[in-house]
Amino acid sequence: MRYWVGIPMRRKAKRIFKDYLAALAEVVRLGDAREESFYPALKGLLETLARELGYGDLRVTVQPRPTEAGNPDFRVWDGTSRVTGYLEAKPPETNLEKIESTEQLRRYRETFPNLILTNFLEFRLYREGRLVASARLGRPVALVKLSTAPPLEDPEGVLRLFEEFFAYSFARVLSAESLAVELAKRTRFLRDVVREELSRETSSGRGPFLNSTRPSGATSSGSFPQRSSRTSTPRPSPTASLPPAPGPGPSSTGVSPSTSFLTP
C-alpha cells in the first residue's frame, strides 16, 4: 500500500533530508567514523519524519535490548508496548544486495514483519519477509570518498517508504493458526542459534552447551574414568542363606502342611 504525501510535506522533507546528509558528511569528515558514529543522525531523521508525518507518539531506541532473532540497531515503538518496526544499519559503503542474502537478514526478515535495511543512504522496506519498497537519498561515493553530502536522488521515494513504515503496527495474534506460525518462526531461530553455539563450542572444546550434552561422569575429553583394577570379592548366591525347604513330614512348627489356618 502506498501513501500519498502532500506538496508542502514533500518540500519540507527535502530540507530534512539535506540536513540529514550534511550531518552524515560531518561525521565522515572527522576521519575516524565507524557504523555506530552515524546512529545519532539516523535517529534524528526518524524522529523528525515521524513527527512531521503525524506519528509524534513514536519513540526511537538505538541498540535496544536483544530480541528472539538477534540485535537490530533501531527499534521504533510507542515507548510502552506497541512496536512499529525495526531497522538494521550497515556502513554507508555497504552493498545492500549482498547483505540481503546473509543469515542475519534471513532471520530478521522471518521474525520482524516490518523491517528496514539501510546503509544510511539507501533504504529497503520488508513486509512479512518480502521486499516491498526501496529508495535512495544519494550515492555513497560523494559521502565516503569526498566527505561531502551527496546530491538528493529520490527524496519523495524515501518519504513514501517511511510513511509506509510508520503506518504499520504489529498485528495481534488471535487465531491458533497465526500463533502456530509465530511460534514456528521462533523455533527455527532458536534451532539455528543452538547449532551455531554448539559448533563454536565444539571447536574450542568447552562451553555451557557442550557441558550440558556430555554424559554424566564423562571427562573433558568425553571419556569415562576407568574402574579400579582391585579384585572384587565374589557375592554369595541369593539362595545360600535360605533354610532348606520343609519335607513331607511335620514342619518345625508342629503344624501339618495340610492344616489350614482358616479352619475355625
In DSSP terms, 172 is beta-bridged to: none
Q: What is the pLDDT of residue 10?
A: 86
**What are the Cα distances from residue 221, in Å, to 47, 196, 202, 204?**
54, 21, 11, 12
Residue 44 contacts residue 126 (beta carbons within 8 Å)? no
Q: So where are the chain's domains? A: 7-167, 176-206
Give the CB-side neighbour count of residue 247, counting CA atoms within 13 A: 2
Which one, of 125, 120, 153, lies nearest residue 1 by Cα? 125
199 or 3, which is more confident?
A: 199
d(CA 110, CA 102): 12
Q: What is the pLDDT of residue 119?
A: 98
Chain centroid, CA 116 distance in Å? 15
Place 220 in a pLDDT band, splitting at 50, 70 and 90. very low
Place 56 in a pLDDT band, splitting at 50, 70 and 90. very high
d(CA 63, CA 237): 71
Q: What is the pLDDT of residue 209?
A: 57
Question: SS3 of 124, please?
Answer: strand
Q: What is the pLDDT of residue 191?
A: 57
Place 15 in a pLDDT band, splitting at 50, 70 and 90. very high
Burial class (CB in 10 A: 0-12, 13-18, 19+), 72: buried
Residue with cell 554424566: 216
Place 9 in a pLDDT band, splitting at 50, 70 and 90. confident
Helix residue spans in the chain (DSSP H): 7-29, 39-52, 96-100, 103-111, 140-146, 155-167, 176-204, 208-213
E strand or H helix that includes residue 131: strand 130-136
52, pLDDT greater than 90: yes
d(CA 86, CA 165): 9
Q: What is the pLDDT of residue 156?
A: 95
92, pLDDT greater than 90: yes
Kindly give the pairing relationship between strand 59-62 and strand 83-89.
unpaired
188, pLDDT greater than 90: no
Which one, of 135, 140, 124, 125, lies nearest residue 92 by Cα? 140
Q: Averaged over 40-66, what is the pLDDT? A: 95
Question: Fold for domain 7-167?
Answer: tt1808, chain A (3.90.1570)
DSSP state of 87: E
**Crossing angle of the two packed helices 7-29 and 155-167, in degrees rounded to 10:** 100
Cell numbers at residue 208, please? 555451557
